[in-house]
Structure formats: C-alpha cells, structure tokens
Structure 1
C-alpha cells in the first residue's frame, strides 16, 4: 500500500560534498538531481502528494552565497522541469511565505504554479521559507482575523488554515543523512506520520532507496491509538 502523502526532509547535501572534496554548492546541485528523480518515481508509484522540505526559515542563517546558490538552483529546476511537471500531470504548490524571496524567484514560482494549476495526478509541495511553528501561528492569526468563534475552532477547522489545507496528512516522513528529528517540519500534520530515518545522504537517495523506505512502511501496522486486535 502506497502512502497517500509522502514528506521528505532532504538532508546531507553539504556533508555529501565535503566527503568528496567538493563545494557545498555542488552538493546542493546533486541534491536537486536527486529530487527530480524522486518526484518522477513518486508519480510512477501513484503517490498523490509529495512534500519536499526545500528551504526552512532557519536556513536564512546560512552564508549568503549558499542561499544565493539555493535560489539559483530552485529557479533553474522549475524552469527546466515545467514541461515535465505538466506532462506528468503534477501540480506545484508552495508551503511557506515567499514574500521574503527575491522578486525573480517569486516570479518563476508563481509562473510554475499557474501553469500546473489544472494538473490532477499528483501534488508536489515545496516547503519554502517554511516553519511548522510559524505555520500554526499564522493559521491562528488568520482564524482570529476572520472572526472564527471559539465554538468553531476544531482540529478540522484549524487544518483548513494550514498551508496543506485540502490535502491528507503525511503518512510517511523520510529524513536522510542519519539525523533523527523533525526540524520544525509539518509539526501539526505529523501527529500520526510514520517516520523513516536513513544514513544515506540526500544526493545518494535514489529511487531504489525510496523503494526500500516504502517497503519498510508497508511492514508497519498503523494503529492510530487502537490496539493491534482492533486494526
């Protein structure tokens, strides 16, 4: 059984590059290629929603030249892959606040969103300038500004104010590079997500590695608070 929604923390580009005597930029470039392959594999498998942790709010603390490289890679990726996304019937959505991004980046992102808005087979969420805590604060503020009453505040109504509104919560969250934490990623949505950690650095996370993660996922019994006998 495939997860309806797969989320990935793409970690380890810098360490992958360092181990090979390459620049961090080369690591991010290799990571972009890995992302392209994983998107294609998820579409082949019929996974309906894929979320990639692309740039967190905390990433602004990185060196400016590295941030610039990340923005360049993002724009090149979207320009290069637009036709492929449309051919594969993949819709692009953004989780996060783009107002702080350079104008050129925002233009490319908006263009890609517009050109793929009618695609139905898969939704590709890129978490950009994203923070799980900030997402919750933003949702609460929006509910208050719209006059939502206390009685109307439920788990379901709050979910409707998140970036992922209308999408299922992640069934599986994968993190590469050996780190074992969520790093402020989809905190509300991850309540019942299965977690899969691998020592493989992101640039080496191939479709075959994804298949291994999915095999592990399928061996698990998701109880959602029930006993094994009730499942």
Structure 2
C-alpha cells in the first residue's frame, strides 16, 4: 500500500510539472507528432538504463539502506548519496527540479507520516546540510514505511516512467492508449534497472544521458514552456 501511495501520480510532489527533456525534444523536431511508439519505448528505455536508474535509483537505494537500521539510521550516508546525486545531474534544471520536488515530498511526509528519520532529514535540508533530492527523500521515507528496498526502487522507476509518458501525452507526442503500450513494453527494463540499482553504493551513482542533458540546458532558455524541465 505504501508503494502504491508514494508512486501515485496524484501524490503532491509536483512531478506533473516535469517533462524530463521531452518538451525540448518535441520543440526541436526530434520527435514526430505523433511519435512512433517504438521510438518512445527506446527513448524511455535508455533514460531508465543510463539516467534515472543508475542515478536516482541508486541514490534511493543508498538512502533506504542508511535509514533501514531504525534508531541507528546513518543519515550522513544518505547525505553523501544526496550530494553525489546532485553532482551527476549536469543541467541546472534537473538539479533544481529534483530538489524542489524533494522538498515538497518532505513537507508532505513530515506532516502526514511523522517518521523520526524523515523529520531529522528535513532539518538537515532546511539547515542547508543536504540538498534534498527527491530520490533520496523517497528512499528515507520508504525505509521508514517498511517498504523493501527493491520494491522502493521499482516503485520510483515506475513513477518516473508513468510521469514521462503522461508528459508525452500532454505534449501531444502520443495518445493515452499508446502511452500505456509504451509503459507495458518497458516493464522488463524497469525491472532490470531496479534490480541493478538496489544493491549499489554511493560511488556507483552515475548518469550518462548527454542528449537529454543538452535538451534540459536548452529548455531553460526557451521563451514558451509548458513544463519546468
């Protein structure tokens, strides 16, 4: 139940404002309208394999592991994961949106779930001792809610993918039916990326999505924007 709640698109963290580079791809003509579902599946798969999985997924797993000890939670390990995740987010937009949605998640979590580790981490973020990236906050919250680490990572990768295809629909790059087909097609990639991320550590937090990074950098300079990234 916790995974379903935390990965629900209605959860008020502000992720609906993100297109993850899709808006610029569409504006520059790199994505046809409507786009071939095979192209969309390949693009989302690469994003999961080389971007969000080895970066946000691993950071979430590290934060979860640091918190799972209960009263002995090692939140400094979570801070290291948080700082590393910020470092691998190349574009300013991706860094800012990650921490903005993370702080929104913290506000909801501290008022709704009342977990000690979440309150302690919120204090670190407020005092400027941690960036507060969304994936790290979610890892801490998932551990407090007794969500197993692999399921927590898988839930985050699904939430990202669902948000990604929803953005494609809003951009008129695809329709609702095709979006669901894309989600179904990339399910094995989500599983593989989640399993790969779940047991890795802070030095393994990496990202290699140069095209999407460039699109994010160009997005912040466009005059008309529907999305924040």
- The TM tier, using the shorter chain, reads 0.3 to 0.5
Higher relative contact order (CA 8 A, sep 6+): 2
Which has a greater percent of strand?
Answer: 1
TM, length-normalised to structure 1: 0.34
Larger radius of gyration: 1
